[in-house]
Chains A and B, each alone.
Chain A
Amino acid sequence: MAEIEFEKVTKSFGEGALAVDQLDLGIKDGEFMVLVGPSGCGKSTALRMVAGLEAISDGEIKIGGRVVNEVPPKDRDIAMVFQNYALYPHMTVYDNMAFALKLAKVDKGEMDKRVKEAAHVLGLDEFLGRKPRALSGGQRQRVAMGRAIVREPQAFLMDEPLSNLDAKLRVQMRSEIGRIQDDLEVTTIYVTHDQVEAMTMGDRVAVMRKGELQQVGTPTELFLTPVNLFTAGFIGSPSMNFLSSKLERSNGNYQIDVGGQKVTIHEKVTKDRPELEKYDGKEIIIGVRPQDFEDKSIMGDDAPEGSSVKAKVDLVEVLGTETLVHFELNAPMVMTEDMKELQADAGGQDPATVESRAEEGTNEFVAQLDPKSRIKRGEEVELFIDTRQLHFFDIDNSQGIYGGDGDRAAGNGNR
Chain B
Amino acid sequence: MSVASDARPGERGSGDGFFARLRGDFANSERRTGYTMVSPSLLLILVIGAWPVIYAIWLSFQRVIAQETSFAGLDNYATMFSDPRFHSAVINTSIFTVLSVALEFVLGVGIALAINRGFRGQGATRAIALIPWAFPTVVSAIMWRLMYQQTGGIMQYIAEKIQLVSGPILASEQATLFAAVFVDVWKTTPFVALLLLAGLQVIPGDVYEAARVDGANALQQFKSVTLPLLKPAIVVALLFRTLDAWRVFDLFWAMSDRTVESLSTYVFKGVRISQTEFSLGDAAAVFIFVTSLVIAAFFIRGLGSQSAGEG
Q: Within the complex, what minimum Cβ distance (angstroms) separates A277 from chain B?
A: 53
Q: Does A103 contact B (CB under 8 A)?
A: yes
Could you list 10 further interchain pairs (A-B, Cβ under 8 angstroms) beyond the known A73-B212, A80-B209, A90-B229?
Answer: A51-B209, A52-B213, A74-B212, A78-B213, A83-B206, A90-B309, A90-B310, A103-B214, A104-B215, A147-B210
**Residue in A closest to B309 when the chains form the complex, CB atoms:** A131
Residue pair A90, B228 in contact (C-beta under 8 Å): yes
Specify which chain B residues have a CB less than 8 angstroms from the CB of A103 in the assembled complex. 214-216, 220
Residue pair B212, A86 in contact (C-beta under 8 Å): no
CA distance A100 to B216 in the complex (A): 8
Q: Does B217 contact A (CB under 8 A)?
A: yes
Q: Does A127 contact B (CB under 8 A)?
A: no
Q: Does B40 contact A (CB under 8 A)?
A: no
Q: A84 with B309: in contact, given A90-B228, A99-B224, A100-B214 (CB under 8 Å)? A: no
Residue pair A53, B214 in contact (C-beta under 8 Å): no
Partner among B215, B224, B307, B311 whose Cβ is within 8 Å of the Cβ of A88 = B224
Q: Does B204 contact A (CB under 8 A)?
A: yes
**Residues in chain A within 8 A of chain B (CB atoms):** 51-53, 72-74, 78-80, 82-84, 86-90, 99-100, 103-104, 131, 133, 147, 151
CA distance A53 to B310 in the complex (A): 26
Q: In the complex, which residues 172-219 of chain B have their Cβ closer than 8 Å to any Cβ of chain A?
A: 204, 206-207, 209-217
Q: Does B102 contact A (CB under 8 A)?
A: no
Interface of B is mostly: helix
Interface string of B217-250 (1 = CB under 8 A from A): 1001000110011010000000000000000000
Residue pair A86, B206 in contact (C-beta under 8 Å): yes
List 16 contacting pairs A-B, 8 Å CB cutoff, sorted by A: A72-B212, A74-B214, A74-B216, A80-B209, A84-B204, A86-B206, A86-B207, A86-B210, A88-B207, A89-B207, A89-B229, A99-B211, A99-B214, A133-B309, A147-B210, A147-B214
CA distance A147 to B307 in the complex (A): 23
Residue pair A80, B309 in contact (C-beta under 8 Å): no
Q: In the complex, which residues 240-291 of chain B have their Cβ closer than 8 Å to any Cβ of chain A?
A: none
Residue pair B210, A82 in contact (C-beta under 8 Å): yes
Partner among B209, B224, B225, B307 whose Cβ is within 8 Å of the Cβ of A82 = B209
Residue pair A100, B215 in contact (C-beta under 8 Å): yes
CA distance A74 to B215 in the complex (A): 4
Q: Within the complex, what minimum Cβ distance (angstroms) separates B119 from chain A?
A: 15
Q: Within the complex, what minimum Cβ distance (angstroms) separates A46 from chain B?
A: 15
**Residue in A closest to B216 when the chains form the complex, CB atoms:** A103
CA distance A86 to B217 in the complex (A): 17
Q: Within the complex, what minimum Cβ distance (angstroms) separates A369 from chain B?
A: 44
Specify which chain A residues have a CB less than 8 angstroms from the CB of B211 in the assembled complex. 88, 99
**Residue in A closest to B203 when the chains form the complex, CB atoms:** A89
Q: Please count the residue pairs between chain A and chain B whose beta carbons lie under 8 angstroms apart in the complex.
A: 71
Q: In the complex, which residues 1-17 of chain B have their Cβ closer than 8 Å to any Cβ of chain A?
A: none
CA distance A101 to B225 in the complex (A): 16
- Please list the 4 inter-chain residue pairs (A to B) with the smallest Cβ-Cβ separation, ordered nearest first: A100-B214, A86-B206, A74-B215, A86-B210
**Residue in B closest to A89 when the chains form the complex, CB atoms:** B310
Q: Within the complex, what minimum Cβ distance (angstroms) separates B310 from chain A?
A: 5
CA distance A78 to B209 in the complex (A): 12
Specify which chain B residues have a CB less than 8 angstroms from the CB of A99 in the assembled complex. 211, 214, 216, 224
CA distance A82 to B213 in the complex (A): 11
- Quick one: which of B206, B214, B229 has the most chain A CB within 10 A? B214
CA distance A133 to B207 in the complex (A): 14
Q: A88 with B213: in contact, given A82-B206, A103-B220 (CB under 8 Å)? A: no
Residue pair B309, A74 in contact (C-beta under 8 Å): no
CA distance A318 to B307 in the complex (A): 52
Residue pair B310, A80 in contact (C-beta under 8 Å): no
Q: Within the complex, what minimum Cβ distance (angstroms) separates A187 from chain B?
A: 15
CA distance A86 to B221 in the complex (A): 14
Q: A88 with B209: in contact, given A103-B214, A103-B215 (CB under 8 Å)? A: no
Q: Within the complex, what minimum Cβ distance (angstroms) separates A56 from chain B?
A: 16
CA distance A86 to B211 in the complex (A): 9
CA distance A404 to B217 in the complex (A): 54
Specify which chain B residues have a CB less than 8 angstroms from the CB of A80 in the assembled complex. 209-210, 213
Partner among A79, A89, A104, A131 whose Cβ is within 8 Å of the Cβ of B213 = A79
Specify which chain B residues have a CB less than 8 angstroms from the CB of A51 in the assembled complex. 209, 213
Specify which chain B residues have a CB less than 8 angstroms from the CB of A79 in the assembled complex. 213
CA distance A181 to B212 in the complex (A): 23
CA distance A80 to B207 in the complex (A): 11
CA distance A131 to B310 in the complex (A): 8
Specify which chain A residues have a CB less than 8 angstroms from the CB of B204 in the assembled complex. 84, 86
Q: Within the complex, what minimum Cβ distance (angstroms) separates B84 from chain A?
A: 47
Q: Within the complex, what minimum Cβ distance (angstroms) separates A89 from chain B?
A: 5
Specify which chain B residues have a CB less than 8 angstroms from the CB of A83 in the assembled complex. 206
Q: Within the complex, what minimum Cβ distance (angstroms) separates A55 from chain B?
A: 13
Specify which chain B residues have a CB less than 8 angstroms from the CB of A131 in the assembled complex. 309-310
Partner among A88, A90, A104 whose Cβ is within 8 Å of the Cβ of B210 = A88
CA distance A90 to B227 in the complex (A): 10
CA distance A104 to B213 in the complex (A): 12
Q: Within the complex, what minimum Cβ distance (angstroms) separates B118 from chain A?
A: 14
CA distance A197 to B139 in the complex (A): 65
Partner among B212, B220, B231 whose Cβ is within 8 Å of the Cβ of A53 = B212
CA distance A387 to B224 in the complex (A): 62
- Quick one: which of B213, B225, B231, B307 has the most chain A CB within 10 A? B213
Q: Within the complex, what minimum Cβ distance (angstroms) separates A111 from chain B?
A: 13
Q: Within the complex, what minimum Cβ distance (angstroms) separates A244 from chain B?
A: 44
Specify which chain A residues have a CB less than 8 angstroms from the CB of B213 in the assembled complex. 51-53, 73-74, 78-80, 100
Specify which chain A residues have a CB less than 8 angstroms from the CB of B231 in the assembled complex. 90
CA distance A405 to B268 in the complex (A): 97
Specify which chain B residues have a CB less than 8 angstroms from the CB of A72 in the assembled complex. 212
Specify which chain A residues have a CB less than 8 angstroms from the CB of B310 in the assembled complex. 89-90, 131, 133
CA distance A147 to B224 in the complex (A): 16
CA distance A80 to B311 in the complex (A): 24
